[in-house]
């Protein structure tokens, strides 16, 4: 039996030098038992003939959106009915189109029509990859739940070195298997996720806040919803698009976040507290805008906010409780102490001084701490992949209850 028996995969191939590696990816998918249909952009066919993909997939290759269909079904709708779409290579141009919903060829029309999970393997010159426009597009696709594999760094076709080389067919294949085999394993389970910062009023126009972007919590909520969980996302103010299929509760202050969590917590199987609630609030926020005249200095008195995680730790019955710890020194020692104090079953610790970890970046580098002092070192990865890894661990804990 192949790993992908019975799975229908659409391979979208767009125009870049890495098209030849998509042939190998197709071979791996077919060998694993998948029924693979291929759609190519006209530019992709300039690099490798559709014939190669047709022979290896045993299906006609979709290139021309207007061609006479072999079966009476509109081409893009027919192709969109699959278990997974993988686009390899995904050019900067295609990623930009996907980010805004342009549908002008057989690959982009199919992606716009599909309900299936989507894996993209970007491939381009490092200047194009590092361009803020491409980075914004990638961030937007990630927020929508796309799985992004790579790109790797190394020697590029343009004879320079840098980031932009498409990941190996083996790595892309592994990501496809991971996404397909995880599907719906959270079905029937309820999850509470918190995300983002909170804001504490100083006066009607000012607040005290922090640098949390909410990206980690949103990635967890999106991944859990994709895997079939019933998700409540309690979120402080963020600039992110809410993931589809989750119940969003918007809050502003730590007290509001606490109230929303305490209400939902008794019903859930697990709670992941990725938010960064403010530990203190202003004791006497002003009803009127504070004026700078008539005061040489402004002193704000702060009083402690409730510690939501600690309170949920007290309330805990059968729920699996996961905390985060952002530390800048003595990571393990501080995090272990936090885990015990807040009665967590798993603690995600990150050293916010490390490059690629912590606030407002798309990647994270964490250690997972368990109550028996076990520490799991997780490699640097993008937040959506980390979200899935965390959900794997939490699911094991739920099943072990
Ligand atoms: N947390 C919480 N309520 C708060 C503060 C934090 O629920 N008022 C949660 C966070 O969501 C996170 C965990 O506690 O899951 C740890 O947050 P962190 O800011 O690292 O810890 P603190 O307890 O605030 O400790 P310190 O700031 O002293 O490191």
Strand partners, 191: 231, 270
Mutate to test the pocket of ligand 1, among 273, 331, 335 (most ligand atoms within 8 A of CB): 273
User: What DSSP element (H or E) covers 109?
Assistant: helix 106-113
- By residue count, the chain amounts to 401
Closest CA to 218 of 199, 202, 200, 236: 236
- Which residue numbers are catalytic? 158
- Atom nearest to 279 CA in ligand 1: 8
pLDDT for residue 71: 59
Q: Is the CB of 324 under 6 A from ligand 1?
A: yes
Closest CA to 75 of 83, 84, 86, 64: 64
Residue 105, classed as helix, strand or coil, is coil
Mutate to test the pocket of ligand 1, among 320, 338, 351 (most ligand atoms within 8 A of CB): 338
Is pLDDT of 72 > 60?
A: no
- If one counts every other C-beta atom within 10 angstroms of the C-beta of residue 70, the result is 11
**Whole-number average pLDDT of the chain:** 92
- Sort 103 into a burial class: Cβ within 10 Å, 0-12 / 13-18 / 19+: middle
Q: Is the CB of 321 under 6 A from ligand 1?
A: no
The structural domains of the chain, ordered by start, are: 8-181 (3.40.50.1950), 190-399 (3.40.50.10300)
Q: Is the CB of 279 under 6 A from ligand 1?
A: yes
pLDDT above 70: percentage of residues in the chain: 97
Instruction: Measure the CA–CA gap between 359 and 190, rounded to whole angstroms.
Output: 27
Q: Is the CB of 309 under 6 A from ligand 1?
A: yes
Closest CA to 310 of 284, 283, 347, 285: 347
- Edge-first strand order for the sheet with 247-250 is 247-250, 230-235, 190-195, 270-273, 320-327, 346-351, 366-369, 375-377
Instruction: Measure the CA–CA gap between 93 and 287, rounded to whole angstroms.
Output: 50
pLDDT for residue 382: 82
Instruction: Measure the CA–CA gap between 259 and 269, rounded to whole angstroms.
Output: 18
Q: How confident is the model at residue 31 (pLDDT cuts 50, 70, 90)?
A: very high
Q: Which residue lies with its CA nearest to atom 20 of ligand 1?
A: 325
pTM: 0.74
Q: How confident is the model at residue 383 (pLDDT cuts 50, 70, 90)?
A: confident
- Sort 168 into a burial class: Cβ within 10 Å, 0-12 / 13-18 / 19+: middle
The pLDDT tens digits for 35-59 are: 999 999 999 999 999 999 999 999 9
The pLDDT tens digits for 230-283 are: 999 999 999 988 887 899 999 999 999 999 999 999 999 999 999 999 999 999
Q: Is-contact 351 328, C-beta < 8 A?
A: yes
Instruction: Measure the CA–CA gap between 285 and 9, rounded to whole angstroms.
Output: 56
Q: Which residue lies with its CA nearest to atom 28 of ligand 1?
A: 279
The pLDDT tens digits for 312-371 are: 999 999 999 999 998 888 999 999 999 999 999 999 998 888 877 777 777 888 999 999
Task: Report the separation in Å between the CA atom of 400 and the middle of ligand 1, taken as the mean of its atom positions.
Answer: 26
Task: Report the separation in Å between the CA atom of 278 and the middle of ligand 1, taken as the mean of its atom positions.
Answer: 8
Phi, psi values for residue 99, rounded to 5°: -65, -30
Q: Is the CB of 45 under 6 A from ligand 1?
A: no
> Which residues, at least 6 apart from 47, have a Cβ–Cβ distance to it below 8 Å?
15, 16, 17, 19, 20
Mutate to test the pocket of ligand 1, among 208, 216, 271, 275 (most ligand atoms within 8 A of CB): 275
Residue 39, classed as helix, strand or coil, is strand
For the record, the structure tokens of 12 come out as 């979208």
Q: Is the CB of 275 under 6 A from ligand 1?
A: yes
pLDDT for residue 165: 92
């Amino acid at each position: 039996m192949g790993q992908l028996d019975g799975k229908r995969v659409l391979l979208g191939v767009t125009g870049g030098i890495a098209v030849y590696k998509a042939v190998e990816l197709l071979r791996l998918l077919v060998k694993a038992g998948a029924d693979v249909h291929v759609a190519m952009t006209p530019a992709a066919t300039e690099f490798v003939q559709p014939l190669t993909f047709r022979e290896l997939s045993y299906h006609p290759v979709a290139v021309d959106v207007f061609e006479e269909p072999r079966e009476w079904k509109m081409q893009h709708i027919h192709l969109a009915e699959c278990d997974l779409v993988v686009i390899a290579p995904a050019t900067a141009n295609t990623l930009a189109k996907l980010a805004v919903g342009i549908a002008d060829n057989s690959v982009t029309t199919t992606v716009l029509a599909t309900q299936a999970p989507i894996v993209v393997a970007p491939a381009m010159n490092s200047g194009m990859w590092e361009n803020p426009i491409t980075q914004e597009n990638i961030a937007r696709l990630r927020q929508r739940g796309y799985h992004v594999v790579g790109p790797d760094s190394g020697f590029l076709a343009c004879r320079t070195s840098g980031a932009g080389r498409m990941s190996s067919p083996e790595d892309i294949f592994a990501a496809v298997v991971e996404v397909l085999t995880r599907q719906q394993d959270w079905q029937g389970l309820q999850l509470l996720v918190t995300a983002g910062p909170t804001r504490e009023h100083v006066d009607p126009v000012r607040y005290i806040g922090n640098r949390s972007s909410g990206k980690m919590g949103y990635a967890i909520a999106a991944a859990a919803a994709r895997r079939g969980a019933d998700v409540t996302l309690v979120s402080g103010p963020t600039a992110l698009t809410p993931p589809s299929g989750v119940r969003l509760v918007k809050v502003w202050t730590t007290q509001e976040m606490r109230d929303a969590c305490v209400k939902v917590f008794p019903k859930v199987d697990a709670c992941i507290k990725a938010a960064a609630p403010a530990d203190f609030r202003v004791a006497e926020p002003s009803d009127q805008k504070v004026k700078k005249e008539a005061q040489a200095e402004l002193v704000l008195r702060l009083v402690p906010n409730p510690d939501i995680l600690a309170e949920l730790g007290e309330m805990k019955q059968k729920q699996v409780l996961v905390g985060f710890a952002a530390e800048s020194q003595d990571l393990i020692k501080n995090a272990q102490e936090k885990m015990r104090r807040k009665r967590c079953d798993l603690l995600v610790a990150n050293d916010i001084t490390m490059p690629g970890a912590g606030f407002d970046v798309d990647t994270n580098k964490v250690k997972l701490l368990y109550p028996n002092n076990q520490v799991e070192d997780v490699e640097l990865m993008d937040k959506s992949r980390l979200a899935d890894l965390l959900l794997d661990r939490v699911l094991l804990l739920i099943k072990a209850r």
